Chain A
């Protein structure tokens, strides 16, 4: 028995097939599609490279499952700019943390970042903290409950920082003034947020506040990245196409348009007639409900609303095979050697098979 038949789990319409047949059928679907979309995109850097090659060949749009959050940060950056630092600098140097939003309590290394005894003690100021808090994360000052209050609170905070009067409850002003004092006394303060929770307005106001604080002291920002190598995919799309995800290649050159190339919109609106769905980190399935011919590359266990036309199981990058991916703890792209090397396919190798099976004429 060849490796194809023994190891690779691949199906067409639920029937087990060889890896070659799966690639051939995927290529046929893509080559005849009018507007294919490649979505999910939970893949390592080698996977993204292969995906952009494929997108260029078949004129597909490219999106990522966490693009909403990623593009919120990117939008603030490209509209107004921002100051940012690395997770390591935040841990090693920060003496004040300005936390915005309740989801930060669950951020994996927030506690470690706060409590590492080798690092400066950190005073916490928290806008909209959760009701229940780990004792290690209790803030010195806090205000607000619901994340929706953030823009208003940040407006007051910024006004008070710049010495302007505000018309709001005396209690709120008192709490905010205490925060301002704390923020201004920082030697190296870091504002932390997650674009998965905050809206663009709150992020922009937070970044503006960080800029203002630098009039007197050092302050910077730390956006927490979403999962599924979202930041890594953003970076690779950046250098390969010049643009973030939500970029289309249908006209033979990259066009970036966060609305037009939103995979959910394309899939839901019948604009797209074929999808490639990739989830190599978490066996996620697409959220759209339309019955769209789909080629799925996921780790085992994904639950689809409608069964994919073509399905190929892939391994998890960094576990089943060596991979380069964005590592949240370092804030960089790092090489990760496989924790438990296996025969499972990588996204890059499955896409390479599909590329090889495409008819020559579909090249643009």
Chain B
């Protein structure tokens, strides 16, 4: 079937397109305009904006920790969603089904769950298979696991570490490697309560810096398209910009991605010893061309924090709102689920909000700063439309600032920044750049051959950009119409994207023996067989090699 999307304002930064054009699609792909002949179906998109489906590189939507948060917060579900009262979704739980629908309604078609402990990989993939419409992927966590730290302690070669990383990616069906407060979860088990870049993991004698460096090299050696995805040490602490700056300068030889850097953009200035250091951090990112970051923007309201940085979450438990929390000492990373409410009236929360926006606005290159709230840690993903509107309008930011404590804004530079994102920059940050960062060549653009994942927005009313981004006019997934006027009209299953590096046979035998002796269980503990995932979930292999 040939479909024509006629007369929309097509924005495709990959092909330098920003103007009225027709788009054609057939069999789930975008195709060149046919020489003659008519479309079977034509959608008139006059006055509307057309972009590729959006890609979220970092959103905690599935897995054991996310599910624990669901069970911890049965009454939070309505708070997670901004949705019309009239639908059944209004009263539904915060389920996999709801997540797929809400993402699709915003024009998102690919979402990465960025923190899956290998022993919970099957659990995460089961949830993702139950998440309709959107394609998904996981990042597999390494860096707090006994096997890797043992390799480093014993001075084993870089190729042994790369073999282990390949084996883990292959077994868990990951799209990339995540490292979370490297060594910190292990140190917490030995009763350390703080852990920084050059601190040593007890019993293993390796530093956080050595762990990150080893994984960065492994990802590079394997040709994993996505650079190692790093959650730095000292998240959330006053003065932690020094940690982020040290991480940037310490690892900028090879590509590296730093996650939710808003949570590391804090100085110690001002009367309360807490200030935004976002300008310094943005300047460092601007200079370090091999570094990419995502922001982890804070937005106001009730949310919950879900993190495998168990040490940090333990330290944050006393600030839980409401007062309950789960701390999980896992086989390697574990995690902490700590509910939290960001308040406009709270000095610290207001500084966090402003620091995130400063990062977005002061980092020059929209292809190196990614659009995230670290869902749900900074805010639920349902707040994305409001954030897009804020980036695009200085006036709107001023309206918000007028409701915040002046004392907080005084330790930021936000009021002095006039930049407004263009739609092309939004499309770069949420489409073109994420596809490139993850190695997905047929996504994030609208050229012939691309997957027909397409979002259409009615952005005619500048006063309600957020509404337009929340309820896409039309969304196509693989060419199928899935959303019309913000309502889901079809729920095809998504697929999971993963790497499939050929792991070395020797490391496989070694790990089989390791799992049997250490855990008394086979390596089925982290394997994700296709039959087990079920639900006709299909896997799409993304090739290694940059």
**Partner of A45 from B126, B317, B327, B329 at Cβ < 8 Å:** B126
Mark each residue of chain A from 225 to 254: 1 if its CB lies under 8 Å from any CB of chain B, else 0: 000000000111011111110000001111
Interface hits, B319-340 → A, CB 8 Å: 320, 323-331, 334
Check: B11 CB closer than 8 A to any chain A CB: no
**Partner of B189 from A82, A188, A238, A252 at Cβ < 8 Å:** A188
- Cβ-defined contact, B524 with A335, below 8 A: yes
Given A85-B328, A235-B123, the answer on whether A78 and B525 have CB atoms closer than 8 Å is: no
**Partner of B324 from A49, A78, A253 at Cβ < 8 Å:** A78
Check: B415 CB closer than 8 A to any chain A CB: no
Check: B535 CB closer than 8 A to any chain A CB: yes
Check: A218 CB closer than 8 A to any chain B CB: yes
**Partner of B320 from A81, A92, A322 at Cβ < 8 Å:** A81
- Docked complex Cα distance between A333 and B334 (Å): 15
**Partner of B331 from A82, A89, A324 at Cβ < 8 Å:** A89
Interface hits, A51-96 → B, CB 8 Å: 74, 77-86, 88-89, 92-93
- Cβ-defined contact, B62 with A239, below 8 A: yes
- Docked complex Cα distance between A244 and B517 (Å): 35
- Cβ-defined contact, B531 with A83, below 8 A: no
Check: A217 CB closer than 8 A to any chain B CB: yes
Check: A160 CB closer than 8 A to any chain B CB: no
In chain B, what residue has the closest Cβ to A86? B331
| Max count, chain A CB within 10 A of own CB: residue among B93, B324, B521, B531 | B93
The residues of A that contact B127 with a CB separation of less than 8 Å are 239
**Partner of B532 from A234, A240, A322 at Cβ < 8 Å:** A322
- Cβ-defined contact, B88 with A335, below 8 A: no
- Docked complex Cα distance between A240 and B67 (Å): 10
The residues of A that contact B510 with a CB separation of less than 8 Å are none
- Docked complex Cα distance between A80 and B96 (Å): 25
- Cβ-defined contact, B92 with A330, below 8 A: no
**Partner of B123 from A88, A241, A332 at Cβ < 8 Å:** A332
B324 to chain A, nearest CB (A): 4
The residues of A that contact B331 with a CB separation of less than 8 Å are 86, 88-89
Mark each residue of chain B from 190 to 228: 1 if its CB lies under 8 Å from any CB of chain A, else 0: 110000000000000000000000000000000000000
Check: A187 CB closer than 8 A to any chain B CB: yes
Given A239-B96, A330-B119, the answer on whether A89 and B72 have CB atoms closer than 8 Å is: no
The residues of A that contact B190 with a CB separation of less than 8 Å are 187, 218
A106 to chain B, nearest CB (A): 20
- Cβ-defined contact, A81 with B326, below 8 A: yes
- Cβ-defined contact, A335 with B529, below 8 A: yes
The residues of B that contact A46 with a CB separation of less than 8 Å are 534
**Partner of A89 from B92, B123, B329 at Cβ < 8 Å:** B329
The residues of B that contact A251 with a CB separation of less than 8 Å are 91
A61 to chain B, nearest CB (A): 15
- Cβ-defined contact, B122 with A239, below 8 A: no
- Cβ-defined contact, B525 with A240, below 8 A: no
The residues of B that contact A334 with a CB separation of less than 8 Å are 122, 521, 524-525
Given A218-B189, A334-B122, the answer on whether A234 and B71 have CB atoms closer than 8 Å is: yes
- Cβ-defined contact, B98 with A242, below 8 A: yes
Check: A140 CB closer than 8 A to any chain B CB: no
Provide the main secondary structure of the chain A interface.
Answer: mixed
The residues of B that contact A49 with a CB separation of less than 8 Å are 130, 534-535
Interface hits, A132-172 → B, CB 8 Å: none
Given A89-B330, A235-B67, A333-B123, the answer on whether A80 and B527 have CB atoms closer than 8 Å is: no
- Docked complex Cα distance between A245 and B41 (Å): 45
- Cβ-defined contact, B532 with A335, below 8 A: yes
| Max count, chain B CB within 10 A of own CB: residue among A77, A81, A188 | A81
The residues of A that contact B64 with a CB separation of less than 8 Å are 235, 332
Mark each residue of chain B from 504 to 530: 1 if its CB lies under 8 Å from any CB of chain A, else 0: 000000000000011111001101110
- Cβ-defined contact, B329 with A238, below 8 A: no
In chain B, what residue has the closest Cβ to A252? B88
B375 to chain A, nearest CB (A): 16
- Cβ-defined contact, B93 with A242, below 8 A: yes
Check: A35 CB closer than 8 A to any chain B CB: no
The residues of A that contact B130 with a CB separation of less than 8 Å are 49, 239-240
- Cβ-defined contact, B519 with A88, below 8 A: yes
- Cβ-defined contact, A324 with B525, below 8 A: no
In chain B, what residue has the closest Cβ to A364? B88
- Cβ-defined contact, B97 with A84, below 8 A: no
Check: A256 CB closer than 8 A to any chain B CB: yes
B317 to chain A, nearest CB (A): 8
The residues of B that contact A329 with a CB separation of less than 8 Å are 520-521
The residues of B that contact A182 with a CB separation of less than 8 Å are none
The residues of A that contact B98 with a CB separation of less than 8 Å are 242
B168 to chain A, nearest CB (A): 15
- Cβ-defined contact, A242 with B326, below 8 A: no
In chain A, what residue has the closest Cβ to B73? A78
- Cβ-defined contact, A81 with B324, below 8 A: yes
In chain A, what residue has the closest Cβ to B534? A46
**Partner of A335 from B67, B93, B122, B328 at Cβ < 8 Å:** B122
Interface hits, A319-353 → B, CB 8 Å: 322, 324, 327, 329-330, 332-336
Of all A-B residue pairs in the complex, the 5 with the closest CB atoms, nearest first, are A242-B93, A335-B532, A81-B324, A85-B329, A81-B325
A–B Cβ pairs within 8 angstroms, 23 of them? A80-B324, A81-B72, A81-B327, A82-B327, A84-B327, A84-B329, A85-B329, A85-B330, A88-B331, A89-B329, A93-B189, A220-B327, A220-B329, A239-B96, A239-B127, A254-B93, A255-B91, A322-B532, A324-B122, A330-B519, A330-B525, A333-B123, A334-B521
Please list the residues of chain A having a beta carbon within 8 angstroms of any beta carbon in chain B.
45-46, 49, 74, 77-86, 88-89, 92-93, 118, 187-188, 214, 217-218, 220, 234-236, 238-244, 251-256, 322, 324, 327, 329-330, 332-336
Please list the residues of chain B having a beta carbon within 8 angstroms of any beta carbon in chain A.
62, 64, 66-67, 70-74, 77, 88-98, 119-120, 122-123, 126-127, 130, 188-191, 314, 317, 320, 323-331, 334, 517-521, 524-525, 527-529, 531-532, 534-535
Q: A242-B92, A243-B74, A254-B92 are in contact. List 7 more A-B contacts (CB 8 A).
A: A77-B71, A92-B518, A217-B191, A218-B190, A239-B66, A255-B91, A330-B519
